[in-house]
């Protein structure tokens, strides 16, 4: 059977690089990659000339999905440089979406729980939760979500809380905990920021899932079990690295000076997509032995 084509934009990033190299994705699709610094196509979302490359590519090669994993993901950078980051995360992304629409491909946009209204107690936010972002990063995500809803008949918005991977990656929340513990460095994890991270390996499986083609709309991708960084750090140390001499001193999110108030509950309910695809997201605890094995090699 002929595999459909996908274009992965943001192939140099944490998620994009995983998807571009994932055997799950490569077995399911013919992949073309794009980013500023590397990839089959070199594109800068702020440069209309480079977007013409995407137009030519999509014209030549009928492409089922365009996966948008390109963005300025640093929340503080968005707060301190709203104009510069909007040029990429909003206007540049709109320009890319216009090319996708012209080519009649289906966009898959990676958004965040930051697009939602922050809540004051531990609850799992679902796809019906109000879109009322309080940070510039969240506002930029919400602007693209709105553009998709208003301009596309078929699209996918995938919101995630935090990304992690089975294999070591500096941006994986697990690596950020395991590395200092194995190097006996002291850690100050947040005790008041709750999250439901998702494995990039599971995202690859969702994207390659044969039933995905029936879906359109907004979906949350997340594990079920909720953790704070402090709880996760202690779990990893107590169960797997008891020999670590790292001192763990919990701290509050509010101790870090940030330009904007950050949400405390980055907690998403992924049951909508789990039920639609009959898919189970891997929980952290069941993957930790393999993650630690790979991290400590
Ligand atoms: N990481 C998380 O925990 C997390 C949580 C929630 C949501 N998300 C969302 O998931 C998506 C992927 O996140 P990530 O962590 O994989 O991001 P990342 O590692 O920061 O990668 C960002 C990607 O965007 C590309 N990019 C940046 N500016 C660009 C521009 N002007 N033109 C073209 N490409 C540009 C980068 O390419 P170059 O390096 O080549 O410039 C890179 O490939 C993002 O939309 C992010 O907001 C991530």
Q: What is the pLDDT of residues 171-210, one digit of tens each?
A: 999 999 999 999 999 999 999 999 999 999 999 999 999 9
Structural domain includes residue 155: yes
* pLDDT value for 297: 77
pLDDT at 24 over 70: yes
Q: What is the pTM of this model?
A: 0.98
* pLDDT value for 6: 98
What are the tens digits of pLDDT across the range 39-93? 999 999 999 889 999 999 999 999 999 999 999 999 999 999 999 999 999 999 9
pLDDT at 219 over 80: yes
Per-residue tokens: 42: 């070199």
Q: Calculate mean pLDDT across residues 211-227.
A: 97
Distance CA 58, CA 155 (A): 17
Question: Distance from CA of residue 30 to its chain's centroid?
Answer: 22
How would residue 271 be classed by pLDDT, with cut points 50, 70 and 90? very high
Q: Calculate mean pLDDT across residues 236-264.
A: 96
The atom number, within ligand 1, closest to the CA of 12 reads 43
The atom number, within ligand 1, closest to the CA of 39 reads 40
Q: What is the mean pLDDT of the chain?
A: 96
Return the residue whose CA atom lies nearest to atom 5 of ligand 1.
162
The atom number, within ligand 1, closest to the CA of 137 reads 47
* pLDDT value for 48: 86
Structural domain includes residue 251: no
The atom number, within ligand 1, closest to the CA of 18 reads 16
Distance CA 15, CA 82 (A): 23
Q: H or E element: which one contains 7?
A: strand 4-9
CA-wise closest residue to 159 among 12, 295, 263, 255: 263
The atom number, within ligand 1, closest to the CA of 14 reads 16
In contact, 192 and 252? CB cutoff 8 Å: yes
Structural domain includes residue 288: no
Pocket of ligand 1 (CB under 6 A): 10, 12-16, 35-37, 43-46, 69-73, 88, 92, 110, 112, 160, 162-163, 171
The CATH code of the domain that includes 73 is 3.40.50.720
Structural domain includes residue 296: no
pLDDT at 32 over 90: yes
Structural domain includes residue 111: yes
CA 10 to ligand 1 center in whole angstroms? 6
Structural domain includes residue 21: yes
Residue ranges making up the domain that contains 86 = 4-164+199-222+268-282
Distance CA 154, CA 174 (A): 34
Distances (CA, A) of 214 to 177, 210, 273: 38, 9, 11
Backbone angles phi, psi at 267, to 5 degrees: -120, 115
How would residue 1 be classed by pLDDT, with cut points 50, 70 and 90? low
Question: Best of 9, 36, 267 to mutate for ligand 1, by most ligand atoms within 8 A of CB?
Answer: 36
CA angle 131, 73, 147 (to 5 degrees): 40
CA 35 to ligand 1 center in whole angstroms? 9
Distance CA 188, CA 97 (A): 40
Q: List all residues 6 or more positions away from 100 whose beta carbon is below 8 Å from its beta carbon.
A: 58, 66, 106, 107
Q: List all residues 6 or more positions away from 18 whose beta carbon is below 8 Å from its beta carbon.
A: 165, 169, 200, 201, 203, 204
Q: For a pLDDT cut of 70, what percent of the chain falls above it?
A: 100
CA 292 to ligand 1 center in whole angstroms? 25
Q: Name the DSSP letter for residue 268.
A: B
* pLDDT value for 295: 85
Structural domain includes residue 73: yes
Domain count, the chain: 1
Structural domain includes residue 262: no
């Amino acid at each position: 059977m002929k595999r459909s084509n996908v274009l992965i934009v943001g192939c140099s990033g944490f998620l994009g690089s995983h998807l571009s190299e994932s055997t799950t994705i490569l077995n399911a699709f013919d992949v073309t990659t794009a980013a500023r610094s590397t990839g089959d196509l070199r594109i800068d979302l702020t440069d209309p000339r480079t977007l013409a490359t995407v137009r030519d590519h999509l014209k030549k090669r009928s492409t089922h999905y365009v996966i948008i994993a390109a963005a300025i993901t640093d929340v503080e950078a968005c707060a301190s440089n709203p104009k510069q980051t909007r040029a990429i995360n909003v206007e540049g992304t709109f320009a890319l979406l216009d090319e996708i629409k012209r080519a009649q491909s289906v966009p898959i946009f990676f958004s965040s729980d930051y697009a939602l209204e922050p809540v004051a107690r531990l609850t799992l936010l679902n796809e019906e939760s109000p879109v009322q972002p309080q940070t510039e990063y969240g506002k930029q995500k919400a602007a693209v979500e709105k553009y998709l809803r208003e301009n596309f008949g078929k699209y996918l918005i995938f919101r995630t809380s935090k990304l992690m991977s089975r294999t070591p990656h500096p941006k994986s929340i697990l690596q950020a905990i395991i590395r200092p513990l194995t190097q006996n460095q002291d850690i100050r994890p947040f005790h008041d920021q709750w999250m439901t991270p998702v494995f990039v390996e599971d995202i690859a499986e969702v994207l390659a899932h044969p039933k995905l083609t029936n879906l359109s709309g907004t979906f949350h991708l997340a594990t079920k079990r909720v953790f704070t960084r402090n709880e996760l750090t202690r779990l990893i140390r107590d169960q797997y690295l008891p020999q670590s001499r790292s001192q763990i001193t919990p701290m509050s999110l509010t101790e870090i000076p940030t330009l904007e108030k950050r949400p405390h509950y980055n907690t998403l309910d992924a049951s909508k997509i789990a039920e639609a695809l009959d898919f189970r997201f891997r929980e952290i605890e069941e993957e930790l032995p393999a993650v630690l094995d790979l991290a400590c090699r």
